[in-house]
Chain A
C-alpha cells in the first residue's frame, strides 16, 4: 500500500517531443552502431 502511494505521488514528467534533427540523429547513430557491431573493426592500424 505504502509503495502504491509513493508511485501515485511521483511527478509526471512529460516527454518533450523530439525534433526532426534529434530523430534523424538517433536513427543514424543506431544504424552506425549496428554496423560496427557486425563488422567489429579495429579503430587503429
Chain B
C-alpha cells in the first residue's frame, strides 16, 4: 500500500511517500516551484512523488475544519472553501481517500516515531495550526500522550514572528536572521520592556501573553528604528526565547519521567536556544525538519502510531551520480570554493552536503568571498561540516551532545583564529558533524580532504541563488553556475 503524507495550503508545502511503512521520499514543494517557502503543491513535486507509485491513501497533516473555526475566531473570516482539502487536492488530480491528522500531533509524531527512543518527553512549540501553539507529550513504547496544551492566541511562535516582523524581517521565514542578528546586540537593553509589554504569565508550562500578536506589533516602540536598536531588540527576543525554553525544559524534566527530550515545531530550529537546554537531558532528538514540512512525515507516522525506521535526511529529488569526491577536492585546492549537487536532496532547511556550496574554511578572506557570491548580509555566519571524530578537537559541544548531523546546535570554536569564516560574532558555530553512518559520499569527501590537508572540516552553506530555494536538480545547478560563475559538480 502506498501512502502519501501531505502538508500544504499554508506555508512550506511538502509530500512524504511511504510504501508499507517504509519512508521512501520526502520533498519540499519550493524546490520544484522555485518559490521560497511555497505553501502550495506543484506539478514537479507530485511527478517526483509519483515515481514511487500512485497513492492509495493521503494523510493530511491537520484538521481543516478546526482550522476554519480558529480562523473565524481570530477574525480572519470564514474560509471553509479555502480549507476544503478534497477540492484542493483535486486541483492536482489527487482524488484519493483522505485521513486527517492534528497539527501538533503530526509534529509530535514526526519527532517521537523517528527518534528510536523507547520513551521520551516531546515539546512542540510553533506559531499556530488549528488552535494549539504549545504542547507537551509523553511517549512510551508506541503510545504518545499529550500532557499539556496551550492554545491560541498564547503563542510563543507568533510572538517570535511578530518580533521578527517588528525589526523589519519577513515573519515566518526570516526568524533565523533575527537569531543571527542577536549576537550583535545587547540583550538586556530592551528585555524588561518586552517582558513587561507582551508577557502576562511565565510560569512553566504556562506562557501567556498580554496581547494577541497575530497581526504583529508594528506599532510597538516606534522610536526604536536604528540598526543598533534592531540588533538590541533581536538580542532581547532571542534571550527571552532561550529563557522560556529553559523554563519549559526544566518543568518537563522535573515533572515527567523520561530523560530523553524531543523538540519539534518551527521553534525547534532555534539552534542557539536548543544548545542551552541539552544539559537537562541524557539525549536530545530533533527531527531534521521539525516545522510544518516535516509534518508530512509526522502525519503518516501518527497514522501508523509506531516507531519507523528513520532513513536519514536525504529523502528528496535523486540526482543519482556518484559523489564527486576527487573533483571537489581538486576544485577546493585551486578555486577554494565549489558547489556540489549530488544524490538525494536534503529534506529540511539545511544543506548537508548534497546541495551545498563548499569552501576551504581556513584563512581570513574566505568569508567575504563566499558572502560576495551569496550576496547576503555580512553579519551572517557560515557553518562548518566536520568529521564527527574530530569535533571535540575544535569545538566545545553543548552538554551531552556528541554529534550534530543536522546542524541543530551551536558550539564554541576552540581555535577561532584558524577558522574565522565559520565563526559567528559570539564565537560559536552551527556545527554539522559527519559520521560513518551519514552520507557516504560527503563523508568520503571530508576524509580525503583531511588526509590531503590535515583539516577535518569544510565550510558548508546552502547552494541557492539569493532569494530562491536550494538547488534541486541539474537544471538548477546549471542556473547557479550561469548566475555566479561558480562551478557545481554533480
Where the two chains meet, the residues of A that have a C-beta atom closer than 8 Å to any C-beta of B are: 18, 21-22, 25-26, 28-30, 32-33, 36-37, 40-45
Partner of A29, one of B10, B76, B167: B167
Encoded as 1 (CB less than 8 Å from any A CB) or 0, chain B from 178 to 221 comes to 00000000000000000000000000000000000111101100
B161: Cβ under 8 A from any A Cβ: yes
Does the CB pair B225–A30 fall under 8 Å?
Answer: yes
Closest 9 CB pairs of A and B: A36-B218, A29-B168, A25-B227, A33-B218, A22-B227, A43-B171, A29-B225, A37-B218, A43-B161
CA distance A37 to B226 in the complex (A): 18
Q: Which residues of A contact B165 (CB under 8 A)?
A: 36, 43
Q: How far is the CB of B237 from chain A (nearest CB, A)?
A: 15
B215–A45 touching, CB < 8 Å: no
**Docked-complex contact A26 and B216, CB < 8 angstroms:** no
**15 A-B pairs, CB-CB below 8 angstroms?**
A18-B226, A21-B227, A22-B226, A22-B227, A22-B228, A25-B168, A29-B225, A36-B218, A37-B218, A41-B215, A41-B216, A43-B162, A43-B171, A43-B216, A44-B214
Q: Which residues of B contact A45 (CB under 8 A)?
A: 10-11, 39, 71, 76
Are A42 and B76 in contact, with the CB atoms below 8 A? yes
Q: What's the nearest-Cβ distance from chain B to residue A41, in Å?
A: 7
| A29, B230: Cβ atoms closer than 8 Å | yes
Is the CB of B158 closer than 8 A to any CB of chain A? yes
The reply on B383 being an interface residue by CB < 8 A is no
- What count of chain B residues pass the 8 Å CB interface test? 29
CB distance from B131 to the nearest CB of A (A): 13
Residues of B within 8 A of A44 (CB): 11, 127-128, 158, 161, 171-172, 214
- Apart from the given pairs A29-B225, A44-B128, A44-B172, 7 other A-B contacts in the complex at a CB distance below 8 Å: A22-B227, A22-B228, A26-B225, A36-B165, A44-B127, A45-B11, A45-B76
Q: Shortest beta-carbon distance, B169 to chain A, in Å? A: 9
B216 in contact with A36 (CB, 8 Å): yes
- B172 and A43 form a contact (CB under 8 A): yes
Any A CB within 8 A of the CB of B74 = yes
Residue of B nearest to A35 (CB): B218
Q: A26 vs B222: C-alpha distance in the bound complex, in angstroms?
A: 11
Closest to B167 in A: A29
Within the assembled complex, what's the spacing in Å between the Cα atoms of A21 and B218? 22
A37 and B215 CA atoms in complex are apart in Å by 9
- When distances are taken between beta carbons in the complex, the residues of chain B under 8 Å from A30 are 225
Name the CB-closest residue of A to B39: A45
Contact B74 A42 (CB under 8 A): yes
Residue among A21, A28, A40, A42 making CB contact with B168, cutoff 8 Å: A28
**Which of A40, A41, A44 has the most C-beta atoms of chain B within 10 angstroms of its own C-beta?**
A44
Closest B-chain residue to A25, C-beta based?
A: B227
CB distance from A22 to the nearest CB of B (A): 5
Query: Given A22-B226, A26-B227, are A42 and B215 also a contact pair (CB < 8 Å)?
Result: yes
Which residues from chain B contact A25 at a C-beta distance below 8 Å? 168, 226-227, 230
